[in-house]
Amino acid sequence: MVNFYSLIKVYYFPASGHAFYKERKRRVGLFFTILLLLIKAKFSNEKEVKVRLFGFEVSANSPQTLLLLVKEIFIDQVYHFHASHPAPKIIDAGANVGISVLYFKSLYPNAQIIAIEPNPMALQYLEKNISQNFLEGVRVEKACISDKVGKEKFYYSNKINIANASLFAEIGKDYLMEVDSLLLSDFLSEDVYDLVKIDIEGAERQVLKELKTSGKLQKSKRYIIEYHYAPDYLKDSLQEIQETFSEAGFSSRITGDDRDKLLNFEYSPYFGGKKL
């Protein structure tokens, strides 16, 4: 049986407050779309899904994946930020199936986005969500970001667990492949960015260490980093990340629990850090 508490309280009411759903007709459509996703998640979660949400045609590998991502990104708005102009430049490292790209385009239709994703399972939906919505100003990089240019071992899970992918075997457990690896600092050498969003499942420490060494950390005004529970050998990485940004003059805001945190860093020239 479908959980109507989730339908109404968790999804419908928060989503219906979005600007796109001001019209009653659209809110009715939202209700039945969420109901359909909850039914499919319960009875046929292994099948890919395509629905219309927040003004976009949205495809994903499974209804459960889509519900989780829509809840986090569109309803909870974990990546919300204020830009000083209508066409912000954004790097989306770990774009997954592209829900974050759609969200950034809903905030700023003229945003220029670099979407970086190495997971072959996710890439097909990322590209589909870009193409079927005729998005302009989005460049896809089929690679991971790391602390070196070349190749990295990449571990990923089956189609249902599409988010379980990482440079670490403890996170992505089912399959192994080699992927191209790029430096975040090389992208930041191209221009000054308004936002760098990072969701790279455990590789944050090595990426940010290289970025600090390169002297390019301040080439983005803001960073939003999803910090997930890490293996024991990465247990000190959160403190290192905080120190790296503090020393560079970024203020911070951290939310979440013991396992998963959302790190927001915004460059503040007078915060007290030294210029790199």
**Domains in the chain, ordered, with CATH?**
1-77 (no CATH), 79-276 (3.40.50.150)
Residue pair 113/104 in contact (Cβ under 8 Å)? The answer is: yes
Q: Work out the pLDDT band at 231, boundaries 50, 70, 90.
A: low
* The predicted structure's pLDDT at residue 190: 80
Percent of the chain with pLDDT strictly greater than 70? 86
Phi, psi for 255 (deg, rounded to 5): -130, 165
Residue pair 212/276 in contact (Cβ under 8 Å)? The answer is: yes
Tokens of 9: 């309280």
Q: Work out the pLDDT band at 221, boundaries 50, 70, 90.
A: very high
